Structure 1
Amino acid sequence: MSRPSPQTDRLIALVDLLAARPADDFSLAEIARGLGVGKATVHPMLTTLTRAGWLLRHPVRRTYRLGPALVAAGRAAAEGDPALDLARPVMRRLAADTGLGVLALVPGGDAAGEDDLRVGELVRTRGTGTTLGMRLGDRVRPRPPLGSVTVAWGGPHAVDTWLARLDTEPTTPGADSPAVSAARTALEPALAGIRARGWVVETESRMRDRLDSLVADLEIELGTGDWDSTGHAAALRRAIADIGSTFDPSDALPATVEPDTVYRVSSVNAPVFDPDGQVAVALCLIDHPDPLTGRDVRALGERVRAAADEVTAALHGHEPDAPPPATG
Structure 2
Amino acid sequence: MRGSAPTSRVLDIVELLARAGAEPLRFSDVVRTLELTQATAHAILTTLCERGWAVRDPRDKTYVPGPALTALAAGVQASRPLAAAARAAAAELVAELGYAASVVERVGDHLVITAFLAGDDDQRPARPGERIPYAPPFGAAFAAWAPAAQKREWIGRAGGDGTVTARLEQVLARTRDRGFDVDWTTPALMQAAQLVERLDEEGLPPHVRRIMDTLVAEFTSIGYLSDDDPGRESRPVFSITAPVLDERGNVAMILGAHPMRVLDAARIAEVGQHVMRGADI
If the length of structure 1 is used for normalisation, what is the TM-score?
0.65
Which of 186, 200, 203 lines up with 2:167 in the alignment?
Answer: 186
Which of residues 129, 132, 143 is equivalent to 2:124?
Answer: 129
Task: Provide the secondary structure at the position in 2 that maps to 1:79.
Answer: helix
Looking at structure 2, the residues matched to 279 and 69 of structure 1 have their Cα atoms a distance apart, in angstroms, of 31
Which residue matches 2:264?
293
Q: How does 1:141-290 map to 2 (within 5 A)?
A: 141-167=133-159, 179=161, 181-204=162-185, 249=220, 252-254=223-225, 256=227, 262=233, 263-286=235-258, 288-290=259-261
Task: Please tell me whether the aligned partners of residues 132 and 138 of structure 2 are also in contact (alpha carbons under 8 angstroms).
Answer: no
> Highest CA radius of gyration, 1 or 2?
1
Q: Once the two structures are superposed, what CA deviation does each residue of 1:156-200 show, in whole Å capped at 9, x if it has no partner?
A: 2122111221347xxxxxxxxxx1x22232233332222221111
Deviations 1:45-81 (A, max 9, x none): 3332222111223355554322100001112222343
Counterpart amino acid of 1:152? A
Deviation string, structure 1 residues 125-182 (Cα, Å, up to 9, x no partner): 3434212xx432x4333222332111112232122111221347xxxxxxxxxx1x22
Is the alpha carbon distance of 1:184 and 1:67 closer, same or farther for their aligned partners in structure 2, counting shifts above 3 Å? same
Alpha-carbon shift at residue 275 of structure 1 (Å): 1.9
Alignment partner of 1:196: what SS?
helix
Distance 1:253 1:76, change over 3 A: same
Which consecutive unaligned segments of at least 5 residues does structure 1 have?
169-178, 209-239, 312-328
Contact between 1:191 and 1:255, CA under 8 Å: does it hold in 2? no
- Point out 4+ residue stretches in structure 1 off by more than 6 angstroms: none
Q: Structure 2 CA distance, aligned partners of 1:185 and 1:89?
A: 37
User: Which is worse superposed, 40-49 or 159-168?
Assistant: 40-49
SS in 1 for 2:128: coil
Contact 2:244 2:254 in 1 (8 A): yes
- Matched residue of 2:64: which SS? strand
CA offset digits 1:255-301 (Å, max 9, x no partner): 5489x962531210111122212112211112x33212112111111
Give the conservation status (yes or no) of the 8 Å contact 2:185–2:219.
Answer: no
Q: Distance in 1 between matches of 2:114 and 2:29?
A: 29
The answer on 1:120 being equivalent to 2:114 is yes
Instruction: Show the counterpart of 2:198.
Output: none
- Deviation, structure 1 residue 254: 4.2
Aligned to 2:132: 140
| Separation in structure 2 between the aligned mates of residue 48 and residue 61 of structure 1, nearest angstrom | 19
**2-structure distance, mates of 1:194, 1:89:** 24
Q: Which residue of 2 aligns with 1:103?
A: 102
What amino acid sits opposite 2:151 in the alignment? Answer: V
Equivalent residue number for residue 55 of structure 1:
54
Cα separation, partners in 2 of 1:67 and 1:193, compared to 1, 3 Å:
same
Distance 1:34 1:155 in 2: 37
For residues 248 and 52 of structure 1, the distance between their equivalents in structure 2, rounded to whole angstroms, comes to: 43
TM-score, length of structure 2 as denominator length: 0.75
Q: May I ask how many residue pairs the two structures share in their alignment?
A: 253
Q: Does the 8 Å CA contact 2:237/2:263 hold for their aligned counterparts?
A: yes
Worse overlay, 31-40 or 194-203: 31-40
Question: How large is the RMSD of aligned CA atoms in angstroms?
Answer: 3.4
Residues 46 and 143 of structure 1, relative CA distance in 2, 3 Å threshold? closer
Q: CA deviation at 1:92?
A: 0.4
Helix, strand or coil for the counterpart of 2:122? coil
Residues 102 and 283 in structure 1, CA contact (< 8 A), matched pair in contact too: yes
Gaps spanning 5+ residues in structure 2: where? 190-210
Q: Deviations over 1:220-248 (max 9, x none)?
A: xxxxxxxxxxxxxxxxxxxx9xx89x959
- CA distance in 2 between counterparts of 1:130 and 1:290 reads 12
1:196/1:37 Cα in 2 relative to 1: closer, same or farther (>3 Å)? closer
